[in-house]
């Protein structure tokens, strides 16, 4: 009886015009000689962890946990992991590993649904553009951190009159999570007297004037890093220091992917592991600070609110964060798995990686909230008025807290190095998705020129990112 190989079956299903005739164990010892395979399973696991553990684990999960009941949020978070995260992770891995194709070509078996794969790649393209910009932000802050004192530790020449690191009066709006403070002044006989210190003056309530105050870190972000314009109608020129960081980010990604997974698989030994070491260092430093436990209590401590479990929004946030942090349905998992050996056991991979991803979110939250607890103490402000998400946490609140620590430049360099490497890992896979789909679509003309496809893709992503580093608000 004639025996059909796996390559023969793929040729039948995917109508591959090129039939493999050579021994599958040649060149680099790859089973799939056309596309290549991971040098080791370790590289695949590290690459997948690096892709899954992204910026959302660092700056989004801690805020969601605080917002949705603290420790109580872990229940729906892990329920959604088991119910939706792990099954979908396994499904996407199975698609990629079985077909040894990218997210578009796997749908050749069902051409009617090929648009699903195209949509995945388009989403990845869009995300890779702004992810590259975020990496550029972290690079700029990392370079700026090699100064003592840190440039955002006080109001310097770039600040305006609303900048203050020690405001005289403080007004909190309990319904707002804003970091904004207010300078309190009194209009005496029609003359504005600001920063007055006389304790025996009584100011009528109708004459009290509050001016919004911004911290040095907030003004540094707006006025130095972004150089914000007045609005969308005023685009302004490219901010060149960000454009150069964007270029450096693109060069680093292109260099890491110059030989595809063969080269990126070696880089992730550094970029996927060092962030955990840096988070651990920041956590140890944070827990030694006075007031750190106040922040951790707000995170997942005794103030956890289990009544939140009856709120459907909490479960929605848990599901959203699970999809967001695992990068489901964007083609990355399928692409990485497509370079596995055909008989690789995916079951443990599809359990270990999602659990490591969720554990990383919790781990990072402790490092974030321990520092915020200390900041709450020294600023005499409730922790809830410091908790931000996204850019507000990574580039305003946390840098502001780090600037107040002894040897501040060291902790700032460690923090932004961690942000940089976490973002870089995810960017590796997103660019790999784009390259893989191009090479799979035109194997005869592009697969042998993969290095040029890699460079061209990174150039396009860089150019598309330039409008994001203009001064437009």
Q: Are the beta carbons of 299 and 64 closer than 8 angstroms?
A: no
Largest interatomic CA distance in the chain? 105
Residue 270 sits in the same domain as residue 200 = no
- Do 386 and 363 lie in one domain? The reply is yes
Instruction: Tell me the residue range of the domain where 178 lies.
Output: 164-213
Q: How far apart are CA 135 and CA 420, in angstroms?
A: 6
Residue 358 to residue 78: CA distance in whole angstroms: 8
Q: CA 416, CA 422: separation in Å to the nearest integer?
A: 10
Question: Cα(401)–Cα(378) distance, rounded to whole angstroms?
Answer: 10
pLDDT the model gives residue 429: 96
H/E segment holding residue 425 = helix 408-441
Domain end (from 192, 213, 234): 213
Same domain, 406 and 324: yes
- Label residues 303-331 b or e (16+ Cβ within 10 Å = b): ebeeebeeeeebbebbbebbbbbbbbbbb
CATH number assigned to the domain comprising residue 444: 1.10.4160
Kindly list the averaged pLDDT for each block of 10 residues, start to end, along the chain of length 473. Answer: 47 45 51 89 96 91 86 93 96 95 92 93 96 96 94 87 64 41 49 47 55 82 87 80 97 96 95 95 92 86 83 94 93 96 94 96 92 85 74 87 91 96 96 95 90 96 95 72
Q: How far apart are CA 440 and CA 101, in angstroms?
A: 7
pLDDT at 304: 78
Task: State both tokens at 329.
Answer: 């349905």
Q: Cα(177)–Cα(38) distance, rounded to whole angstroms?
A: 46
User: Is there a single domain that holds both residue 261 and residue 308?
Assistant: yes
Whether residue 314 sits in one domain with residue 183: no
- Both 348 and 457 in a single domain? yes
Contacts of 252 (CB under 8 A, 6+ apart): 424
Q: What is the pTM of this model?
A: 0.84
Judge contact between 266 and 46, C-beta under 8 A.
no
Domain closes at, from 180, 213, 246: 213
Classify the C-alpha dihedral 18-19-22-24 as positive or negative: positive
Structural contact between residues 422 and 155, judged by C-beta atoms closer than 8 angstroms: no
> Which residue matches tokens 């592991």?
273
Question: Are 199 and 244 in a shared domain?
Answer: no
Pair of tokens at residue 418: 């961690």
Domain count across the chain: 3
DSSP state of 1: -
CA distance 95 to 102: 9
Query: Is residue 346 domain-shared with residue 385, that is, in the same domain?
Result: yes
Distance from C-alpha of 234 to C-alpha of 242, rounded to nearest angstrom: 18
| Closest alpha carbon to 381 in 223, 222, 215, 220 | 215
Asked if residue 149 has a cis previous peptide bond (ω within 30° of 0), the answer is yes
Q: Note whether 346 and 455 are same-domain residues.
A: yes
Strand partners, 187: 192
Residue 194: alpha-carbon gap to chain centroid:
41
pLDDT of residue 128: 97
| Integer Cα distance of 50 and 41 in angstroms | 14
Whether residues 2 and 108 share a domain: the answer is: no
pLDDT of 390: 73
Question: Quick one: 26 and 48 in the same domain?
Answer: no
What's the pLDDT score for residue 180? 42
Q: Residue 78: its pLDDT value, please?
A: 96
Instruction: Write out the E strands in 70-139.
Output: none
Domain identity same for 432 and 407: yes
* Per-residue tokens: 181: 């403070």
Binding-site residue positions: 50, 52-53, 57, 325, 357, 425-426
* Residues 47 and 382 sit within 8 Å (Cβ to Cβ): no
Which segments are annotated as binding site for Na(+)?
A: 50, 52-53, 57, 325, 357, 425-426
- Phi/psi for 301 (5° steps) reads -90, -150
């Amino acid at each position: 009886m004639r025996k059909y190989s796996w390559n023969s079956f793929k040729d039948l299903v995917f109508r591959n015009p090129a039939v493999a005739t050579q021994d599958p164990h040649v060149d680099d010892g790859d089973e799939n000689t056309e596309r290549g395979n991971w040098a080791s399973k370790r590289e695949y696991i590290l690459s997948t962890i690096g892709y899954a553990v992204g910026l959302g684990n660092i700056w989004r999960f801690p805020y969601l946990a605080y917002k949705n009941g603290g420790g109580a949020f872990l229940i729906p978070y892990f329920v959604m992991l088991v119910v939706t995260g792990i099954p979908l992770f396994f499904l996407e891995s199975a698609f990629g590993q079985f077909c040894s194709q990218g997210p578009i070509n796997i749908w050749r078996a069902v051409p009617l649904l090929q648009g699903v794969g195209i949509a995945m790649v388009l989403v990845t393209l869009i995300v890779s553009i702004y992810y590259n910009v975020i990496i550029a932000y972290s690079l700029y802050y990392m370079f700026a951190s090699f100064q003592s004192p840190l440039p955002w530790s006080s109001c310097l020449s770039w600040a305006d009159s609303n900048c203050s690191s020690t405001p005289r009066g403080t007004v909190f709006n309990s319904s707002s999570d804003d970091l904004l403070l207010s300078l309190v002044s009194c209009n005496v006989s029609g003359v504005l007297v600001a920063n007055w210190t006389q304790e025996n003056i009584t100011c009528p309530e109708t004459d009290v004037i509050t001016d919004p105050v911004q911290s040095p870190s907030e003004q540094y972000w707006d006025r130095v890093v972004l150089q914000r314009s007045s609005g969308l109608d005023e685009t302004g020129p490219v901010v060149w220091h960000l454009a150069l960081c964007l270029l450096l980010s693109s060069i680093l990604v292109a260099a890491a992917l110059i030989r595809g997974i063969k080269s990126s698989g070696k880089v992730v030994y550094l970029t996927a592991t060092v962030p955990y070491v840096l988070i651990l260092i920041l956590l140890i430093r944070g827990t030694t600070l006075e007031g750190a436990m106040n922040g951790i209590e707000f995170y997942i401590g005794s103030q956890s609110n289990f009544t939140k479990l009856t709120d459907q929004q909490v479960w929605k946030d848990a599901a959203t964060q699970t999809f967001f942090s695992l990068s489901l349905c964007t083609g990355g998992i399928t692409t990485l798995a497509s370079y596995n050996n055909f008989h690789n056991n995916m079951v443990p991979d599809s359990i270990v990686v999602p659990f490591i991803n969720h554990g990383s979110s919790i781990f990072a939250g402790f490092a974030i909230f321990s520092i915020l607890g200390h900041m709450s103490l020294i600023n005499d402000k409730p922790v809830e008025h410091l908790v931000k998400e996204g850019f507000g946490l990574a580039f305003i609140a946390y840098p502001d807290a780090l600037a107040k620590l002894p040897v501040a430049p060291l902790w700032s360099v460690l923090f932004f190095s961690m942000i940089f490497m976490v973002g870089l890992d995810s960017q590796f896979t997103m660019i790999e998705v784009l390259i893989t789909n191009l090479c799979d679509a035109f194997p005869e003309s592009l697969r042998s020129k993969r290095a040029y496809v890699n460079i061209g893709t990174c150039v396009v992503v860089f150019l598309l990112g330039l409008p994001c580093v203009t001064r437009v608000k």
